[in-house]
Amino acid sequence: MENGGGYLFDGVFEDGAPNNIYQYLDDLRWHPWARAERSLYDGTYVKLREMSFTYSLPLKGRIKSVDASIFGRNLAILYTKCENFDPEVSNRNATLASQGSEFGSNPSARNIGFRVKVTF
């Protein structure tokens, strides 16, 4: 490191003298703050959360109308910068210390269903 290796951080010693100690950057990877920073991801995402299609059949007589619908929830993540996880569910619990952490969460359930509504 004395031959220009490592990194010279800006700063001064207690006596006011400028820092002249080079730090080997590999030593910083085990520091808690350095470990956290390299694990940060951009949480930007666009999700198709819900979609439904309904067909209404107007009738005369005792039954006034019949509506048939098909719906889906949590259909797709259209865009994400997060790799290999759903940013909505990747959280251990509801504390402030765990917001945005990825810790073995289950993926969002995808629901697809059919609905019929009869109006008398």
Q: Please compute the mean of the pLDDT values over residues 53-58 and round it to a whole number.
A: 93
Mean confidence (pLDDT) of the chain: 79
Query: Look-up: residue for tokens 């609905």?
Result: 115
Residues 6+ apart with CB under 8 A from 8: 19, 20, 21, 22, 23
Q: Which of 34-38, 75-79, 87-91 has the highest mean pLDDT?
A: 75-79
User: What single letter denotes the amino acid at residue 42?
Assistant: D
Half-sphere exposure at residue 107, Cβ-oriented, CA atoms within 13 angstroms: 10
User: What single letter denotes the amino acid at residue 50?
Assistant: E
**Kind plus residue range of the DSSP H or E element containing 67:** strand 65-80
What pLDDT is stored for residue 81 in this prediction?
A: 80
pTM listed for this prediction: 0.52
Tokens of 31: 């520091």
Phi, psi of 32 (to 5 degrees): -55, -40
Separation of alpha carbons 68 and 58, rounded Å: 11
Closest CA to 118 of 43, 45, 33, 58: 58
